[in-house]
Amino acid sequence: MAIRFDGRVAIVTGAGNGLGRAHALGLAALGAKVVVNDFGGARDGTGGSMTAAETVVEEIRKAGGTAMADGADVSNYEQVQAMVAKATKEWGSVDLLVANAGILRDKSFGKMELSDFQKVIDVHLAGTFYCCKAVWDGMKERNYGRIVLTTSSSGMFGNFGQANYGAAKAGIVGLMNVLAQEGRKTDIRVNTVSPTAATRMTEELLPPQALALMKPEAITPAVLFLLSDNAPTRTTLGAGAGSFAQIKIIETEGINLPESEWTPDAIAAHFAEISDDSKAQALEGAFQQTQKYVAQAAARLGIKM
């Protein structure tokens, strides 16, 4: 059965341009009522205007869809709460959330001002937390919710000059891991997308030939899948230029050492074995790691657990 969102209400943050705009248009085309949120600031987060959000709303309405514009700053929890309240009052619920809003303040670590670090954390990580927090109780009450957060290869793998951005984006994966566990009982599914696309955020970072291949619209199918009724949960999808891949954090099988070898020299001696990824696995939660380590120690000591 084809994926559609008839009767669903969605909020897409940072939806005035680029990825967010593509996601908002995609949701509306498949039947969702969409809150097009955009603070309207510059790439570094300065300024502010409703023009971008209102323009996307007009696009949606001209195509026969339903949408409203909102200018909440996602780093301001009171404004985020007001946005959710407005959508709920107008349309009855918020069923879908795409936390996409973001800014860039790239500098090498030695030159990065504390304010540049804090502002990026405030928008990306705290802003994502605020949006999730504002919709969470309503989703729990209705026993339904789909949330897609936006991480980045910078957070997953690292990128020079983006200590602030990379830290925020890695934190978003941690947030997703916990929310996916907490949302299982009430069918709130939480996932992340790791996009690579030609947007206002990346136009100065990539050559023209690469930018031509990476349309924002190439990311939206992954987002729409992760918002669907049959979506997985606790999943990170990489997307860009028509490529789609699942990104996983894995842990090697490792080894268990006797107490007499709890030394840095022993770690050095066994490091190749510790790092052997032939039996690596993606753990489903923090306690699974605890259980694994206890089982390894018990096996070494001949203790039945």
What is the mean predicted confidence (pLDDT) over 108-124? Answer: 97
What is the mean predicted confidence (pLDDT) over 193-199? Answer: 87
Residues 50, 40 contacting (CB under 8 angstroms): yes
Q: How far is CA 245 from CA 140, 231, 235, 282, in A?
A: 30, 15, 11, 15
Mean confidence (pLDDT) of the chain: 95
Q: Which of 77, 130, 144, 165 is catalytic?
A: 165
Report the phi/psi class of residue 241: left, alpha or beta, with left for phi > 0 and alpha for psi in -120 to 50: left
pLDDT digits (tens, 9 = 90+) for 225-244: 999 999 999 999 999 999 99
293 counts as catalytic: no
What is the mean predicted confidence (pLDDT) over 122-142? Answer: 99
Global pTM reads: 0.94
pLDDT digits (tens, 9 = 90+) for 39-83: 986 665 666 679 999 999 999 999 999 999 999 999 999 999 999
- Per-residue pLDDT at 137: 99
Domain boundaries, the chain: 9-247, 259-301
Q: Cα separation of 92 and 234, whole Å?
A: 27
Domain at 9-247: CATH architecture: 3-Layer(aba) Sandwich (3.40)
Q: Cα separation of 88 and 285, whole Å?
A: 33
